[in-house]
Amino acid sequence: MKSFTESGVLFPDDWENEPEEPAVPPPAPEPKPERKVRDTAARPAPKLASEDEDLDYGTPCFKRADLVDLLCEEHGFDVAESRAFVAEFFDMIFDHLVQGHMVKLSGLGRFSVRYKAPRPARNPWTGETVMLEERTVVCYQSSDTLNTRVTAKLREKKKG
């Protein structure tokens, strides 16, 4: 039978006769393992690409020099004219981006300049939180036409 005590706690009638359990502290929580910092010395330094090398390890890459050569072969320009044309074309794109304009190349895509606000970031190697400064970045978005054409050609190539 239980009785109600003055303190408002319910106790069994024979609570005074029960042996006391030894006070054992609860087990201490296991410490969390320390976050490991990657050892950068264990990996070789990244290889720097030269003008003629491709770091995609076997993936063909169409470069500026290839565009110059293609203009020479396909349209009969000499090398100096081709280089000047490609340089002028790239400079026009650069100039418009610097002015804050969007550059749309129909069938290829669009280039734009985007403002990025300052934000906190975490260094994945050390776990240290750092503040990234505000900056502007050049963005590229491919056109639907380009995506469709490339996807269709890759499907054909995969089937055949």
pTM of the predicted structure, to 2 decimals: 0.57
Q: Which is more confident, 10 or 66?
A: 66
Q: Mean pLDDT throughout 30-46?
A: 62
**pLDDT of amino acid 59:** 76
The CATH number for 102-160, chosen from 3.40.1440.10, 3.30.450.90, 4.10.520.10, 1.10.238.10, is 4.10.520.10
Over residues 136-160, the pLDDT tens digits come to: 999 999 999 999 999 999 999 988 7
- For Cα atoms 77, 81, 82, give the angle at the middle one, nearest 5 degrees: 70
pLDDT value, residue 28? 75
- pLDDT tens for each residue of 58-113: 678 889 999 999 999 999 899 999 999 999 999 999 999 999 999 999 999 999 99
pLDDT at 159: 87
Which whole-number Å values give the CA distances from 42 to 38, 57, 84, 124, in the listed order? 9, 22, 45, 16
Stronger pLDDT, 49 or 99, i.e. the higher one: 99
Q: Which of 86, 78, 133, 138 is nearest to 113 (CA)?
A: 138
- pLDDT surpassing 90 at residue 2: no
| Domain-wise residue ranges, the chain | 56-100, 102-160
- The length of the chain in residues reads 160
